[in-house]
Structure 1
Amino acid sequence: MENSSVFKTLGVGTFGEGEGGPTAERLFRVQAGHNADFALEQSALLLSCAYKLTLQAGIEPDGTLVWAAHYLSGMSKALVEDVAHAMFIEQTPAP
């Protein structure tokens, strides 16, 4: 079944601290051109994994699961921000 989402990812969503620290260019970027509904579905899957990891991390005190959840939620955030940006651009009237 073909995906018919009007909105496409723009490639503006980013994730991952760059080599120069928090103010440096990000390490990863969302690829432009994917259907928004697919990107949001992937974001939901990433958030589901992060949710399960944080639940498990509450039981295991070593801290490694928390970092995994942090990275998964960051990737999900980049996807959602990219789609939101595409929706905003589409709804903004041309000058």
Structure 2
Amino acid sequence: MARAKGLDAGDAKFAASFGDRLKKLRSDAGLDATALGQRCGMTQAAMWRLEAGKALPTLRTLARLAIALEVPITELLVDVDYQDVRLVNRPYEPR
């Protein structure tokens, strides 16, 4: 999961939109963030970061969420606003 620290405005808007979608799907499933986190093998804090738009999910995280919510991965992205994501190469930053 990529933390939102250092995200540009487009990525931050995308993360917030995804968080709203995740909250809706979780609520529709009758789960709280702790229960969804347990189903996914993620902490409540990780769930909070995603729902608050403070982190972007990895593909693996999307798969875990989809399995836990019993929806196709594509359902996680319905109506998520990604139009402002910039298509630029970012400098390589070794860890």
Task: Return the structure number with greater relative CO, CA threshold 8 A, min gap 6.
Answer: 2
State TM-score, norm by structure 2.
0.31
Higher Cα Rg, which structure: 1
TM-score w.r.t. length of structure 1: 0.31
